[in-house]
Structure 1
Amino acid sequence: MPTVAALFSAGKDSTLAALVLEPFYDVTLCSCTFALDAGPSVAGTAREAGERAGFPVATVELDASVAREAVDRMVADGYPREGIQLVHEHALETVAGRDEVDGRPFDAVADGTRRDDRAPAIERPFAQSLEDRHGVDYLRPLAGYGRGAIDELTGRLLEVETGPSERLPTGDYETELRALMAAEHGEGTVADVFPEHVQSRVRGRSR
Structure 2
Amino acid sequence: MDLGLLYSGGKDSTLAALLLDDFYDVTLVTAHLGVTDDWRHARETAETTGFAFETVELDDDDATEAVEQMVEDGYPRNGIQQVHQRALEAVAEMDFDAIADGTRRDDRVPTVSRAQAQSLEDRHGVDYIVPLAGFGRGAVDRLVEANLSVEAGPSEEVRKADYEAELRALLAREHGENAVEDVFPDHEQTYVTGLVADR
Q: What TM-score do the two structures reach when normalised by structure 2?
A: 0.97
Equivalent residues in 2 for 1:29-40, closer than 5 Å: 29-36=28-35, 40=36
The unaligned stretches of length 5 or more in structure 2 are none
For residue 5 of structure 2, what is the aligned residue in structure 1? 6
Encode CA deviations 1:121-156: one digit per residue, 9 max, x unaligned.
000000000000000000000000011000000000
- Alpha-carbon distance, 1:171 to partner: 0.8
> Is 1:166 aligned to 2:162, yes or no?
no
Deviation, 1:54, is: 1.2
Show the 5 A alignment for 1:22-61: 22-36=21-35, 40-61=36-57
CA–CA distance in 2 between the matches of 1:157 and 1:187? Answer: 36
What does residue 14 of structure 2 align with? 15
Give me the whole-angstrom Cα distance separating, in 2, the residues matched to 1:72 and 1:196. 20
| Aligned-residue offset at 1:184 | 0.6
In the alignment, structure 1 residue 97 sits paired with structure 2 residue 93? yes
The alpha carbon displacement at 1:42 in A equals 2.2
Q: CA RMSD in A?
A: 0.7
The 4+ residue runs of structure 1 with deviation greater than 3 A are none
Q: Partner of 1:81 in structure 2?
A: 77
Query: Aligned letter for 2:185?
Result: P
Q: Name which of 161, 168, 178 aligns with 1:188.
A: 178
Provide the C-alpha distance between the structure 2 equivalents of 1:177 and 1:142, rounded to a whole number of angstroms.
25
Confirm or deny: 8 A CA contact 2:67 2:167 kept in the other structure.
yes
The match for 2:64 among 63, 68, 74 is: 68
Q: CA deviation at 1:27?
A: 0.3
* AA of the residue aligned to 2:13: S
How many residues in Structure 1 have an aligned counterpart in Structure 2?
Answer: 197
Q: Deviations over 1:52-81 (max 9, x none)?
A: 111111011111111110000001000010
Distance in 2, matches of 1:61 and 1:72, equals 19
Residue type of the alignment partner of 2:42 = A
Q: Structure 1 stretches of 5 or more lacking a match?
A: 101-105
Identity %: 58
**Superposition deviation, residue 43 in structure 1:** 2.1
